[in-house]
């Protein structure tokens, strides 16, 4: 059974940092592009970042460039999102997903507030 399990969400002050993790199992993680997608309260889905299978190519939505870093550890089947200089508008549920296939996690909530 395919599983993507996110962790690391929580409450952080504006300007602070947070690191999200996603543990993958049940599929050949190293063979898939992986992405982070977020959903602000009451809003639609927004793609945040993607990383190629071996980790060499990384892409970001403009609003997080220079603040967020996506990475992966294929040896441990894990995906990460380092989030720095957080803003109130980054408040959302963050999902780990493989958008070229059918795999999504259950999400982790990030709240940026003082």
Partner 1 sequence: QTVVTQEPSFSVSPGGTVTLTCGLNSASVSTGYSPSWYQQTPGQAPRTLIYNTNTRASGVPGRFSGSILGNKAALTITGAQADDESDYYCALNVRRGVWVFGGGTKLSVL
**Binding footprint of partner 1 on the chain (CB under 8 A):** 33, 35, 37, 44-47, 50, 52, 57-59, 95, 97, 99-107
In whole angstroms, the minimum distance from the beta carbon of 101 to partner 1 comes to 6
Q: Output the six-digit token pair for 74.
A: 């294929």
Distance of closest approach, residue 99 Cβ to partner 1, in angstroms = 6
CB of 92 to partner 1, least distance (A): 13
Which CB atom, from 13 or from 28, has the smaller least distance to partner 1?
Answer: 28
Closer of 17 and 80 to partner 1 (Cβ): 80
Asked whether 19 and 81 are in contact (CB, 8 A), the reply is yes
Identify whether the C-beta of residue 80 lies closer than 8 Å to the C-beta of residue 47. Answer: no
First to last CA, the chain: 40
């Amino acid at each position: 059974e395919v599983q993507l399990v996110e962790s690391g969400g929580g409450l952080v002050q504006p300007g602070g940092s947070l690191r999200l993790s996603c543990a993958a199992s049940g599929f050949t993680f190293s063979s898939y592009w992986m992405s982070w997608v977020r959903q602000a309260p009451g809003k639609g889905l927004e793609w945040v970042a993607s990383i190629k299978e071996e980790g060499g190519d990384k892409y970001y939505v403009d609003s997080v460039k220079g603040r967020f870093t996506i990475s992966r550890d294929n040896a441990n089947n894990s995906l990460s999102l380092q989030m720095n200089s957080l803003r109130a508008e980054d408040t959302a549920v963050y999902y780990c997903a493989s958008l070229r296939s059918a795999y999504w996690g259950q999400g982790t909530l990030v709240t940026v507030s003082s």
